Each structure stands twice: as structure tokens, then as C-alpha cells.
């Protein structure tokens, strides 16, 4: 378990399954202990025991089993409140509170902003709490989620929404995929010195078996190939090389399809 301090809460990062991260949000000024995307109930229960606090809330980003499998056992054990997307209510097990874009959730001492970030799935949402972003399988370290249900347009809209958050926003995504993502990034974005520096840094981090996550919005904007279409010079260089239209959506779409085949 790794822990990070924010002004009003701690984030505890719990590795689960092969490469998932589960996050516990522990409020400083109240009894709120909320879990984001409980992939595995036993991991969450162990963390609650070590913190010596009961679980009060479950927040799901989307319906995939590796984000919701813990809902049922945790609900039975803790009688906690389950929060998820209104658009996906029938696919979120034991959902109590349905939320959608721009709803401000006020949990005792924590204000949680909800963003609609459809693309990976059609009911995918993200949670912003102060300077922390919990984005599930939308934005990854140097990558983005696969388009299982949504279109490239929807995903590009969602990624732009996340990129508009302040640069110092900490990105708590749901998987440790950063190193393989960085290998693809280097392939499509050679000569990016910030990318090279990140590859060096994150490789060292993984050698020590530490997480590369959280990253930040600022770092993702300069090194994540799926956010690079925000930069005109990247668009023009990439579009010229691949003989495609020189616009952000065309470049994003081409990058996403290339990554699927990579």
C-alpha cells in the first residue's frame, strides 16, 4: 500500500489482480472512507483492517468486472453506499446513488466533481476531488483506454476534458500500464525529450517495484501520445508522416487504431 497526502484526504493505493490499482480515500476531517473501483474485496478489507476504519462508500468509474467485482461482498459486509453513473445504473452492482456530469457530490467533508468521460465504455465517469483525478480506464500513464463501446470522437472529447484540468492534478488511473504504453509512445513521438526523461524515470521506478501512478495532467499533456494531438506541431508532423488529415481527431483516431495493432 502506498499513501499520498492531499489537503483534505489521504489516497491509499492498493495493487490488485495483475495490474489494477484500487484507491481508498480517507478523509482527514470526517469518517469517510471511500473506495474507487474495488477490483477485489479482500484487498479492500485488508486495508480497512489496517486503517482500523469501516468502509463508507464505493465509487465506480465504469461497469467492467475488474472495477466492480468487490461491490457485492463489500456492500454485504459494510453496508456502504454505492455510487456510479446514471447512464450505466443497470450494470453497476448494488448502485444506490446515480450521478452524472457536473453533479457535485458532497460527502461529509469531501466535494466530489463528476465528469462524463465516455469512450472506453458508454457509462464511464471520472471523479475529481480537489487536486486528485480518478479516471478509471479513460486516461492511463502514457496511454488511454480501448474503445470497447464508444467512438473515437467520444474518447477524444473525454480526454480533452481531462487535459483541461490544472497541470498539477494527480492522475490516479486504474491500471499500471505505463511502461508498455511508453514503448508505443516512443515509437510515435521520437525526439520528445520530456518523453525520454519519463521513460528513464518510470523504468527506474518499476525496477524498484514502485508504481508510476499517480502521474499528473501536466506530464500526460507533454508525454502521452493520446494527448499529443493537443499540440499543432505534433498534429502536422504525425499527419504528414502517416498521410492523414492534419486535425486532432484524425490523428487521435489513427494513434488509437495503431496502438490496437501494435
Would you please indicate which residues are annotated as catalytic (active-site) residues?
62, 64, 66-67, 120, 137, 175
Binding at 12: pick from Fe ion, Zn ion, none (beta carbon under 5-8 Å per type): none
124 binds, among Zn ion, Fe ion, none (CB under 5 to 8 A by kind): none
> Which residue, 22, 29, 69, is CA-closest to 48?
22
Is the CB of 39 or the CB of 48 nearer to Zn ion? 39
Whole-angstrom Cα distance, residue 177 to residue 155?
18
Site for Fe ion in 99-118 (CB under 5 A): none
Q: Which long-range contacts (CB under 8 A, 24 or more apart) does 217-221 make?
A: 217/133, 217/162, 217/163, 217/165, 217/166, 217/167, 217/168, 217/169, 217/171, 218/167, 218/168, 219/194, 220/139, 220/141, 220/142, 220/163, 220/171, 221/163, 221/167
C-alpha cell at 244: 492523414
What minimum distance in Å lies between the beta carbon of 63 and Zn ion? 8
Alpha helices in the chain (DSSP H): 41-51, 65-68, 71-78, 152-163, 178-188, 193-207, 217-223, 232-242, 248-261
Q: List the grid coordinates of 67.
A: 472495477
Q: How many residues bind Zn ion (CB under 5 A)?
A: 2
C-alpha grid cell for residue 14?
492498493
Least gap, CB of 137 to Fe ion (angstroms): 4
137 binds Zn ion (CB under 5 A): yes
From the CB of 81, what's the least distance to Fe ion, in Å? 22
Q: Does 37 bind Zn ion (CB under 5 A)?
A: no
128, containing H or E segment = strand 125-129
User: 45-104: which residues touch Zn ion (CB under 5 A)?
Assistant: 64
User: Which residue of 137, 176, 189, 202 would you call a contact of Fe ion, by CB under 5 A?
Assistant: 137
User: Minimum distance from CB of 244 to Zn ion (Å)?
Assistant: 28
7 CB-side CA count, 13 A? 8
Residue 189 binds which entry of Zn ion, Fe ion, none, CB below 5-8 Å type-dependent:
none
What is the smallest separation between the CB atom of 133 and Fe ion, expressed in angstroms?
16
Give the nearest residue (CB) to Zn ion: 64
CB nearer Zn ion, residue 64 or residue 228 = 64
The nearer residue to Fe ion, 226 or 234, going by C-beta atoms, is 226
Among positions 35, 48, 63, 66, the unique one binding Fe ion when judged by CB under 5 A: 66
Q: Which element (helix H / strand E) includes 133?
A: strand 132-136
Stretch that binds Zn ion, among 47-55, 70-78, 83-91, 136-144 (CB under 5 A): 136-144
- Residue 143 DSSP label: E
**66/189 with CB nearer Zn ion:** 66
* 203-209: long-range pairs with CB below 8 Å, 24+: 203/179, 206/178, 206/179
**Residue numbers of the site for Zn ion (CB under 5 A)?**
64, 137
> Applying CB under 5 A, which residues contact Fe ion?
66, 137
Amino acid at each position: 500500500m502506498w499513501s499520498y497526502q492531499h489537503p483534505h484526504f489521504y489516497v491509499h493505493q492498493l495493487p490488485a489482480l495483475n495490474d489494477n490499482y484500487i484507491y481508498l480515500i480517507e478523509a482527514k476531517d470526517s469518517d469517510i472512507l471511500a473506495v474507487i473501483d474495488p477490483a477485489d474485496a479482500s484487498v479492500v478489507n485488508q486495508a480497512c483492517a489496517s486503517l482500523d476504519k469501516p468502509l463508507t462508500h464505493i465509487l465506480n468509474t465504469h461497469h467492467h468486472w475488474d472495477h466492480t467485482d468487490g461491490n457485492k461482498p463489500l456492500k454485504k459486509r459494510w453496508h456502504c453506499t454505492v455510487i456510479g453513473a446514471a447512464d450505466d445504473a443497470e450494470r453497476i452492482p448494488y448502485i444506490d446513488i446515480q450521478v452524472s456530469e457536473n453533479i457535485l457530490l458532497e460527502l461529509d467533508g469531501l466535494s466530489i466533481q463528476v465528469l462524463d468521460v465516455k469512450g472506453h465504455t458508454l457509462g464511464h465517469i471520472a471523479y475529481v476531488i480537489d487536486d486528485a483525478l480518478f479516471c478509471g480506464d479513460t486516461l492511463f500513464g502514457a496511454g488511454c483506454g480501448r474503445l470497447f463501446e464508444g467512438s473515437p470522437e467520444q474518447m477524444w472529447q473525454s480526454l480533452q476534458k481531462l487535459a483541461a484540468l490544472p497541470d498539477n492534478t494527480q492522475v490516479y488511473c486504474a491500471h499500471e500500464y505505463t511502461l508498455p504504453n511508453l514503448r508505443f509512445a516512443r515509437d510515435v513521438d521520437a525526439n520528445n525529450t520530456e518523453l525520454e526523461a519519463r521513460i528513464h524515470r518510470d523504468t527506474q521506478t518499476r525496477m524498484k517495484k514502485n508504481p508510476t501512478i499517480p502521474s499528473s495532467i501536466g506530464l500526460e499533456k507533454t508525454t502521452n501520445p493520446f494527448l499529443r494531438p493537443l499540440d499543432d506541431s505534433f498534429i502536422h508532423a504525425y499527419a504528414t508522416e502517416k498521410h492523414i488529415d492534419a486535425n486532432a481527431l484524425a490523428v487521435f483516431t489513427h494513434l488509437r487504431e495503431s496502438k490496437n495493432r501494435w
